[in-house]
Structure 1
Amino acid sequence: MSLTNSLRPGGKHGLATTERRDPIGYAVAALSRLAQSELLDRVGLRRQAEQAVHVATRSGFRTLTAASRTFTRAGASSRAGVRPASAPRTGVFDLTPTEDEQLLVDVVTELADEVLRPAAAAADEACAAPEEVLRAGLEVGLPVLGVPEALGGVSEERSAVAGVLVAEALARGDLGLAVASLAPGAVATALGLWGTEEQQQTYLPAFTGEDVPAAALALAEPTVLFDALEPATTATRTDDGYLLTGVKSAVPRAAEAELFVVGAMLEGSPALFLVESSTPGLTVVADPGMGVRAAGLCRLEVHDVRLPGTALLGETDGSTYAECVRLSRLAWCALAVGTGQAVLDYVTPYVKEREAFGEPIAHRQSVAFMVADMAIELQAMRLLTWKAASRAAAGKDVAREVGLARHLCAEKAMRIGLDGVQLLGGHGFVKEHPVERWYRDLRAIGVMEGGVLV
């Protein structure tokens, strides 16, 4: 199915016009812009530019954060901002995607296949996402999937299910590029869920406009046995705001980000803070890792950064921060499912075609059982992730469900990656096949915090 044919006829964006679309209908309307884009015809890897980035990341760089745009300050208001309504509860346990959700999955899957997958190997080598890939994600409306429709976004209801489906579909193309593409949307979604009226009016117009800023959710820290709910970064109250100090790690696209959501401990409870990149005291240090390299991961050093009182995002009792951690972990579970599916889709035809001792290796029970186990574990990961997302969309507590999904995905995703490499034998160790990259990416599921959000 082509991108153009996957969209319904009629309407401004090729969608059937109705008096009222449901939330996914708005999302598909945004996604349909990809069909009119020239990016698919001219997507390239800009090899010279990427080579320069690769050299920089190999030698390491240390720089001040990018100068951010001037965000237009809204009038002072501490009132709660617009919140997306919880999805209706039907009382029926059914995780089958609706027709519109499946349409959304089909469009994003084709984006992953036609744009992300071809660019993945070079982006992994360069430790940076190509501009064309990032622009394609913007043109399909990824940053506003979690923003309320009243604020210029596409969702009238909680969009955790749509976010999980999109993350899974993108990760089938490449996990690192998926993280890079979804990073701005994590900050926009956080503003939609917890921002005050002033914060939403100040920052969200940039995400719903044409020139969407790079942004990042910074929760992880380079600490042994790091506990996401006990950050070492500290925030101290001052007469006119807060003083922030600490180090964040694995921050996607930090070198170019214009806005950060940073987690810190405030008076014994973790909280979230909005930090513009132009704020004095911020430093970005290149920190490429074993996997997820295309996301441009960096450390964000925060040295006595002074923030206004309006920088606090959400509640100070730790509830907002805990919800943020859980929704971020849920997004990583979806990414694990998508990448695991890519591994399974790749090794299944391989073992049927690869011959040893005069027959396909798939005829060996040890090989057949290994592939079957991968499929079983992947389906269990998917069901737990989707169930947690459906509860989050309904406004229910998801601590238990996210904990179960996180534990299973962290363990089984790594196993799926390892088995994928094992099934390819010597081919699994070389970069000619993408399975070695997927294995490195899947190793990150159990340790990554922040970066993405549903």
Structure 2
Amino acid sequence: MTTADKSMGLALRAVRTLAESDLLDRVGLRKQVEKALYNGTRDGFRVAGAAGRTFAAAQKLGRPARQKKTKPRELFDVTPDEDQQMLVEVTKQFAAEAVRPVAQEADHHSETPKELLEQAAELGVTILGVPESLGGVVAERSAVTSVLIAEALAHGDIGIAVSILAPGAVPTALGLWGDAEQQAKYLPAFTEDNAPAAALAIVEPRPLFNPLKLDTTAKKDGTGFVLNGVKSMVPRAKDDELFIVAAELDGSGPALFLVESKTEGVFTEPEPAMGLRAAETGRLILENVKVPALALLGGGDLAVYEECIHRSRIAWCALATGAAQAALDYLIPYVNTREAFGEPISHRQSVAFMISDIGIETDAMRLLTYRAASRADMGRTFAREAALARRLCADKGMKIGSDSVQLLGGHGYIKEHPAERWYRDLRAVGVMEGALLV
């Protein structure tokens, strides 16, 4: 705890002690002190954005660097090639040996261990969208590869997977839609050993959120823009050094903006959620944040923003599929060994049917997700496929989480088994927007 944190805590404690005494009533100051206590509690945990680094272009690019498009296939076939298979196997091993053992602790403390984040960075999973000419590791653009890796990580834990993958959304967006100047300024930092934490911030704290109707605004101001608004459920918000923020551009429609955390008017505050606790979600608060013209990503094109939403939803479907598969892999041996009335509970028709449904729906979720990702790679329209995958994964993922708790009975309700965590995490798929990108 920092000296500032301790001082704030002591100050609030002193005000609370004073508020509990009858001295305030005798001197007529209760209303003033209660107001101070309210404001201190409300704003006390709001902090300025991470100091971060200074992003500067080390070289000038004549034109934007782009990854090559995947060669189209005549038949629908997403069988991993050798490179993809190698990445998936390494990621699966990492998820099983490093992610799964610490998942419960990370969920309890609402934080992914930094050592784990460093190990994940060494795998290169956060720079899959960086063009090879700028230090990336993959020559061809591949949403399918990103989906396979996200699915493998989520088999270990969704919350930790979000914490690991969220920073990769920013270089992926820059690789897809950034101009030469934006790429030269920001992308090199993501290929360094000490890569910055970053996030794609789209969700806002209001019911029935629609990503095409935003309350966060961006108004032209001279040669730049002024941003105001609040973003919700931002992974690792307090550590992020760079954000891509969705905002309504002068009433003309939503657009994406690059915002450095050290910019004046950028604040973050904790926002613990029901699920995804290991992702350490928080709120991003923008108060008259001035950004230059360079901050506008993709020229403010609505088609770019819509593609961003579709690609994000595919990423969340991949996480849902990975967690659903993890539940199935956990439930089958459980129902085969758990006995009731002298026989395994899997002999009960109702149990067997529930397990079968989970297997069927998991495969359906996987195929729809792969189909959407493969169409994105081939340069074909994929909005419909992304929407279908999102609808199925949101509905069936939530049901699989609920059925997992049900099949484990009393064990499903306690933290000794991971079912209750899957239940909480899988519910996020239907409400999250942004944060991830393929």
TM-score, length-normalised on structure 1?
0.85
Residue of structure 2 equivalent to 1:349: 333
Structure 2 portions without partners, runs of 5+: 10-40
In structure 2, how many angstroms separate the alpha carbons of the residues matched to 1:393 and 1:157? Answer: 9
Could you tell me whether the CA contact under 8 Å between 2:60 and 2:184 is conserved in 1?
Answer: no
Residue of structure 1 equivalent to 2:179: 196
Aligned AA (1:210):
D
Could you tell me whether the CA contact under 8 Å between 1:244 and 1:306 is conserved in 2?
Answer: yes
Q: How many residues in Structure 1 have an aligned counterpart in Structure 2?
A: 400
* CA deviation map 1:336-364 (0-9, x unaligned): 00011111111110000000000000000
Could you tell me whether the CA contact under 8 Å between 2:125 and 2:165 is conserved in 1?
Answer: yes
Residue 347 of structure 2 is aligned to residue 339 of structure 1: no
Residue of structure 1 equivalent to 2:427: 443
Structure (1 or 2) with the greater helix fraction: 2
Residue 169 of structure 2 is aligned to residue 186 of structure 1: yes
In structure 1, how many angstroms separate the alpha carbons of the residues matched to 2:246 and 2:404? Answer: 36
In structure 1, how many angstroms separate the alpha carbons of the residues matched to 2:194 and 2:260? Answer: 16
* CA deviation map 1:307-338 (0-9, x unaligned): 00100011323111111111111100000000
Residue of structure 2 equivalent to 1:112: 95
Give 3-state SS (helix, strand or coil) of 1:224's partner.
Answer: coil
Tell me by how many angstroms 1:82 deviates. 1.1
In structure 2, how many angstroms separate the alpha carbons of the residues matched to 1:405 and 1:88? Answer: 23
In structure 2, how many angstroms separate the alpha carbons of the residues matched to 1:240 and 1:94? Answer: 47
Could you tell me whether the CA contact under 8 Å between 1:331 and 1:452 is conserved in 2?
Answer: yes
Could you tell me whether the CA contact under 8 Å between 1:75 and 1:198 is conserved in 2?
Answer: no
Residue 219 of structure 2 is aligned to residue 228 of structure 1: no
Tell me by how many angstroms 1:368 deviates. 0.2
* CA deviation map 1:279-325 (0-9, x unaligned): 00011011010000000100101011000010001132311111111
Could you tell me whether the CA contact under 8 Å between 1:74 and 1:198 is conserved in 2?
Answer: no
Residue of structure 2 equivalent to 1:28: none
In structure 2, relative to structure 1, the CA distance for the partners of 1:151 and 1:75 (3 Å cut) is: closer
Tell me by how many angstroms 1:98 deviates. 2.0
Name which of 424, 439, 453 aligns with 2:408: 424
Structure 1 portions without partners, runs of 5+: 1-47
Task: Output aligned runs, 1:305-384, within 5 Å.
Answer: 305-384=289-368
Give 3-state SS (helix, strand or coil) of 2:393's partner.
Answer: helix
* CA deviation map 1:230-278 (0-9, x unaligned): 2111100111200000100000011000000000011321110000000
In structure 2, relative to structure 1, the CA distance for the partners of 1:96 and 1:121 (3 Å cut) is: same
Tell me by how many angstroms 1:90 deviates. 2.0
Residue of structure 2 equivalent to 1:301: 285
Name which of 407, 413, 430 aligns with 2:397: 413
In structure 2, how many angstroms separate the alpha carbons of the residues matched to 1:152 and 1:230? Answer: 36
Residue 266 of structure 2 is aligned to residue 279 of structure 1: no
Aligned AA (1:190):
A
Tell me by how many angstroms 1:66 deviates. 0.6
Residue of structure 2 equivalent to 1:65: 49
Residue 240 of structure 2 is aligned to residue 257 of structure 1: yes
Larger deviation, residues 312-321 vs 68-77: 68-77
Task: Output aligned runs, 1:6-21, within 5 Å.
Answer: none
Tell me by how many angstroms 1:75 deviates. 7.4
Give 3-state SS (helix, strand or coil) of 1:315's partner.
Answer: helix
Residue of structure 1 equivalent to 2:225: 242
Name which of 214, 217, 221 aligns with 2:197: 214
Residue of structure 1 equivalent to 2:36: none
* CA deviation map 1:76-123 (0-9, x unaligned): 88x751111211112112122223222211110001011111111111
Give 3-state SS (helix, strand or coil) of 1:278's partner.
Answer: coil
In structure 2, how many angstroms separate the alpha carbons of the residues matched to 1:242 and 1:76? Answer: 24
Residue of structure 2 equivalent to 1:154: 137
Asked which structure has the greater CA Rg, the reply is: 2
Could you tell me whether the CA contact under 8 Å between 2:256 and 2:296 is conserved in 1?
Answer: yes
**Superposition RMSD on alpha carbons, in Å?**
1.9
Could you tell me whether the CA contact under 8 Å between 1:149 and 1:156 is conserved in 2?
Answer: yes
In structure 1, how many angstroms separate the alpha carbons of the residues matched to 2:215 and 2:306? Answer: 15
